[in-house]
Chains A and B, each alone.
Chain A
Amino acid sequence: MALQGWQLVAYHEKTLEYVAAEPQQVHYDIIFFPDYVCGGEISPKLEYLWAMAQMDGWQHITHNYDVQVFCNTQQNPQPLSTDAAVWLENFHGLASKKYVKKWRGIAIAAVAALAVYIAVFAALYIAAAQSGNSSLLLVMLFSTGWLFVPYMMFQAGYHLYRLTVYRKWHKCAVISACEDNSVPMIQNIGFLEKANKIISIIVFIILIDQISSFVLMSYWASFFNQL
């Protein structure tokens, strides 16, 4: 792109932003750097990293979350990261803190939600069987269960799968970094991420729809009872 006269200026979650510039050979490199903001201002540590990168001819262009993007117009620049073991240590520290914990948390939360659902449903079902009257909550749980139960199972499975993929990759990466100073590519599960987002949105809409219709039903039932 730089050779065609487009200079990278910003890196958004899914898109890159370019502006028209003089065509030239530009090399790009990234560094993972968490907690770059300190009290609303750029952290001094990050400023120091920029200064160090500048010594090698690397100019900071933009950042997105923990990814700092640099460019270099030199012919054959020295990469920012030259030691795979150090890179991996840094990346793993960041991933463990931010992503691995989150995935593990979601998987545990999904299993816990499933357990709570089953416990409440069982308790209400037993109470209804004993009294002969079923509560509105039981009916609501019953009618949303076909969606809620598989969704929670999917969430637990999906996040456990992500954890497994990451751990497997990390194990290989440690060996590869020691043996030939390189890090292998991680398995791409982008399609699963997209599927998870779409499924979550659909499930959320259906659940809201069902719950709100139950609330409305109960409102109208009490209204007509009063009449």
Chain B
Amino acid sequence: MPREKFKTLTEQMFYVLLALMEECCGMDIMEKVSQITAGRVKVGSGTLYNLLEQFSEEGIIAETKTEGRRRSYILTEKGRELLYREYNRLVTQAADYNRITAGEAVYGTEKEDRKKQVGNMELSPAY
């Protein structure tokens, strides 16, 4: 069965939309995504072009101005809804994960990730 378009967002789609909460152009989006994620997620220009085209077609973002080859976009109401829905989905997933794994031993890599997140603070007994 074909996947419904934008029913769930990939990581890059999510961050591109997040970057477009404020009006910005292509180059700014790439920089913003890299900044938000501390360089963890990088969007290639081909991917970004395709995403902007598809989001525009679906009315998820709107073009605000064109200056030569520079085009600026911003999230529409539909886009905000989509982003919020995806955020809720991720939060629910994370909550489910926490509920299921709470109090249990976890893998070393996860333990290290947690350590990174909280710095050198004392970890709770669960971790």
Contact = CB atoms under 8 A, between A and B. Distances in A.
B3 interface: yes
B49 A83 contact: no
A32 to B, nearest CB: 9
Contact of A52 (B3, B11, B45): B45
B45 A53 contact: yes
A58 interface: yes
Contact of B48 (A52, A89, A174): A52
A81 B43 CA distance: 8
Contacts of B54: 86, 89
A82 B69 contact: no
Interface string A35-68: 0000000000101110111011010000000000
Contacts of A87: 46-47, 50
A188 to B, nearest CB: 24
Query: Size class of A's contact patch?
Result: 20 to 34
B10 A86 contact: yes
Main secondary structure of the interface of A (DSSP, over half): helix
A80 B45 contact: yes
Contacts of B91: none
Contacts of A89: 5, 50, 54
A90 interface: yes
B17 interface: no
Nearest to B10: A85
Nearest to A57: B45
A55 B45 contact: yes
Main secondary structure of the interface of B (DSSP, over half): helix
A58 B10 contact: no
A83 B30 contact: no
Contacts of B11: 83
A86 B51 contact: yes
B26 to A, nearest CB: 5
A86 B30 contact: no
A85 B45 CA distance: 15
Contacts of A85: 10, 13
Contacts of A47: 69
B12 interface: yes
Interface of B: 3, 5, 10-13, 26-27, 30, 42-51, 53-54, 69-71
12 contacts: A52-B26, A52-B27, A55-B27, A55-B30, A55-B45, A58-B45, A78-B44, A79-B44, A81-B44, A85-B13, A86-B13, A86-B50
